[in-house]
Amino acid sequence: MELRRSPTLEIGEKIKAAQKANKKLYSLSTPSLPYYTDTLKTDCSWGRLSPPAGLPELIDQTKIDLFAGWDVLNHQVVITAGAKASLFAILKSITKAQDKILVPSPSWPSYFDICALAECVPVEMPTAFSNGFNLEIEEIKQIYHKEKFRVIMFSNPNNPTGIIYDGDFLKQLDKFAQDCGFYVVIDQSFSKVIFDHDKWSKSRFHNSDRVIIVDSFSKNYLLQGARVAATLVPTHVTENFINIHQTILSAAPAPAQIMALQALKKKLLIPSLLKQREKTQHFLTEKKWEFIEQSGSFYFFPKILDMEVMEKRAYRKDILLLKGSFFGKGYNDHFRLCFAKPMSELQIIFDKLDSALNEK
C-alpha cells in the first residue's frame, strides 16, 4: 500500500528547510499558531502509562468542555493519540475490509488516506459552491441506496470551507442512519474556533448509537504537537475501539493527556481570531474573489479565475498554498486560505500576494 505524504505537513517541512538555507517562506494555507512557554509544567507523573481509555479526570473534564450538548448516556469518552488515530480506530471497529465510506468534499485530505489504511473504500460526494457547500439529505439517501456505504465521515465546522452544518439536517441524517444501520462520524476538531455561535449551538441533536464524535486539543487548545484527542464512542463499540487503539499505542501518551487536562482547567483556548478573519474577508472582497462566508474553523475556501497563475505568482513571492484539488475533485479553481496567524504575518502575506497578483 502506498500512501501520499500529508500536503499540509509537507508545507511545514518546506518552510523549515528554507529556514536552514536562510530563506523565508510563508504559508497561505496552514496556521502559525502561538505556543505555550512555562504555562504547562511537568512532574514525575508524566512518565507513567495511563489507563487504556485515558486519564479518568481528563475523561470527566472533556464531557463538560468538549461534549456538552451531546448525549453521553449511551456513549463513553475515550482519549486517543490524536484525531487521526481515533478515526483509524473507529473505522477498524465498525467496518470490514472493502466497506465503503462516504466522504463529502471538499474535505480534509487525510480522510481518504485513513480510509485506505483501514482497508475501506472512500466514496467521494462533491458538494457545490453554488449551494454553499451544504449537504443534502436526499442526495445522501440516493447515494446510500446505490453504494450501501457503512459510514459517512465529515468535519463540522468543515475543513476547508469553514461552514457549520444545519442542525435539522444532522437530525435527519442521524434518523436515516438509524433506519439503515450505517454510522455517522463527525470530526469537530475546530469546536472552539467558532464565529457564528448561534448556528453552532443549533448544530446539535439528540445523537443515537449510530453517531461517533471526535474532538481534538490540537487547534482548540494549541496542542498540535501533543497529539491528543477525545472521542465520544457508542457503548457497544467502545471495547473494540479501545482494544484497537491499545494494540497500536497502548494509550495516548500521559504527558499529552496531562497537558490537555491542564489546558482545560486553565481554559487555555486558542486566542480570538476575529480581527484576522475580518482582515481576510476584506482582502477577499477587495480581490473580488468569490467565497462562502465561513462560520467556524480558521479557513476560507475562495474561488478564483486562474489557480495555476495564482500559484506560480505566489511562489515567486515565497508564498506556498494548498490548491483546492487536495481537498477533492472539482475544486481546481479554489484554494484554502488560513487566517490563523499573527496580524503582522498576515499583513506581510497579503502585501506579497497583492504584489504578485499585480505582476504583468
Question: Per-residue pLDDT tens for 81-93?
Answer: 999 999 999 999 9
Residue 360 pLDDT grade (very low, low, confident, very high; cuts 50, 70, 90): low
- Residue-wise pLDDT tens digits, 217-250: 999 999 998 999 999 999 999 999 999 999 999 9
Mean pLDDT check: name the lowest of 64-68, 100-104, 159-163, 204-208.
204-208
Phi, psi for 155 (deg, rounded to 5): -105, 145
CA 230 to chain centre: 13
Question: What is the C-alpha to C-alpha distance for residues 3 and 15, in angstroms, rounded to an integer?
Answer: 22
pLDDT tens string 145-158: 999 999 999 999 99
Backbone angles phi, psi at 46, to 5 degrees: -65, -20
Mean pLDDT, the chain, whole residue set: 93
The answer to whether the pTM exceeds 0.85 is yes
Sorted by where each begins, the domain ranges of the chain are 7-36+271-357, 51-265
* Mean pLDDT confidence for 125-151: 97
Question: Cα(149)–Cα(257) distance, rounded to whole angstroms?
Answer: 34
Angle at 303 between CA 299 and CA 305, to 5 degrees: 145
Task: From residue 42, give the alpha-carbon distance in Å to each of 231, 258, 262.
Answer: 25, 9, 11
- How many other CB atoms are found less than 10 A from the CB of residue 141? 15
pLDDT digits (tens, 9 = 90+) for 169-226: 999 999 999 999 999 999 999 999 999 999 999 998 888 999 999 999 999 999 998 9
CA distance 43 to 45: 6
State the pLDDT at residue 73.
82
For 7-36+271-357, CATH number out of 3.40.50.11900, 3.30.420.40, 3.40.50.620, 3.90.1150.10 equals 3.90.1150.10
Contact call for residues 154 and 115 (beta carbons, < 8 A)? no
Provide the pLDDT for residue 207.
Answer: 86
Please give the CATH number for the structural domain made up of 51-265.
Answer: 3.40.640.10
